[in-house]
Chains A and B, each alone.
Chain A
Amino acid sequence: MRLKIIIVLTILTGITGSPSITIRPEVELVDNKQRISEQQNLVTETDEVVEDVMATGELNPNHYPAQRAAKVVQHYINTLYGSPFKVFHLHRVHSGNAEDVADSGRKYQLEISVQEMISNTSGKCSAEVFFSRGDKQHSPQVQVMCEELLKINTTKEEDAFYQHLKKNTSLLSAEYLPDSHGHIEPDMKPLWHLASVASSFIMLNESTQDTLFNMAQVANVTQLATESDQLKFEYLILLHEMVSQEIIRWKLLVSWCPPEGVKVLQMEKLPHCHECEKPPNTN
Chain B
Amino acid sequence: MGEITNWMDQIVKENPNVVTKVDYGKTYENRTISLLKIGSKSASAKKAIWMDCGIHAREWISPAFCQYFINQTYKTDPKMEQMMKNMDFYVTPVLNVDGYIYSWTDNSTRLWRKNRTPGPEGCECLGTDLNRNFDINWGTLGISFNCCSIVYPGKSAVSEAEAQAITDFVGNRTDEILCFLTIHSYGQMLLIPYGHPNVIAPNENELVHKHKKTTCNTDLCLAMKKVHGKQYTVGTSPDILYSFSGSSKDWARLQGIPFAFTFELRDDGTYGFELPEDQIQPASEEAYSGALHIITHVHDKEFIKPTSTAATVAAMLWTTMMAVFVTSTVIV
Contacts and interface: CB of A to CB of B under 8 A. Distances in A.
Interface of A: 1-2, 5-6, 8-9, 12-13, 15-16, 20-25, 27-30, 33, 36-37, 39-41, 43-44, 47, 60-64, 67, 89-90, 92, 94, 117, 175-176, 178-183, 214-217, 238, 240, 242-247, 272, 274-278
B108 A278 contact: yes
B273 A216 contact: yes
Contacts of B111: 216-217, 238, 240, 247
Ranked 4 nearest A-B pairs via Cβ: A182-B276, A214-B269, A20-B307, A16-B314
Nearest to A65: B239
A38 to B, nearest CB: 10
Interface in B2-21: none
B181 to A, nearest CB: 17
Interface stretch (B35-43, B71-79, B316-324): B316-324
Given A64-B241, A180-B110, A245-B151, A92 B256 contact: no
5 contacts: A28-B253, A67-B240, A181-B274, A181-B276, A217-B272
A63 B150 contact: no
Interface string B134-173: 0011001100000011110000000000000000000000
Contacts of B120: none
A40 B137 contact: yes
B195 A43 contact: yes
Nearest to B204: A25
Choose among A8, A9, A43, A214 the residue with the greatest number of B CB atoms under 10 Å from its CB: A214
A28 B274 contact: no
A60 B274 contact: no
Interface stretch (B26-34, B230-238, B284-292): B230-238
A35 to B, nearest CB: 11
Nearest to B111: A247
Contacts of A244: 150-151
Contact of A28 (B124, B148, B254, B275): B254
A23 B10 CA distance: 39
Contacts of A238: 111
Chain B contact surface mostly: loop
Contact of A62 (B104, B235, B238, B268): B235
A43 B194 CA distance: 8
Given A29-B256, A245-B129, A245-B150, 11 more contacts: A12-B318, A24-B302, A40-B250, A43-B194, A43-B238, A62-B215, A89-B270, A216-B273, A243-B242, A244-B151, A245-B113
A178 B328 contact: no
B243 A47 contact: yes
Contacts of B101: none
A31 to B, nearest CB: 10
Given A63-B239, A183-B277, A216-B273, A12 B314 contact: yes
B279 A182 contact: yes
Contact of A92 (B215, B241, B332): B215
A193 to B, nearest CB: 11
B150 A246 contact: yes
B239 A64 contact: yes
B45 interface: no
B276 A183 contact: yes
Given A12-B314, A247-B111, A22 B276 contact: no
Contacts of A182: 271, 274-277, 279
B315 A33 contact: no
A62 B310 contact: no
B238 A47 contact: yes
Nearest to A210: B242
Contact of B258 (A25, A33, A240, A246): A25
A29 B108 CA distance: 45
Given A2-B329, A180-B107, A216-B111, A12 B258 contact: no
Contacts of B279: 182
Contact of B107 (A44, A63, A176, A247): A176
Nearest to A25: B258
B306 interface: yes
Nearest to A1: B328
A176 B107 CA distance: 7
Contacts of B141: 44
A219 to B, nearest CB: 8
B310 A5 contact: no
A180 B100 CA distance: 13
Choose among B136, B270, B318 the residue with the greatest number of A CB atoms under 10 Å from its CB: B270
B137 A20 contact: no
Interface in B263-315: 268-277, 279, 301-302, 306-307, 310-311, 314-315
Nearest to A274: B125
Nearest to A196: B270
B325 A9 contact: yes
B255 interface: yes
B276 A9 contact: no
A272 B148 contact: yes
A24 B150 contact: no
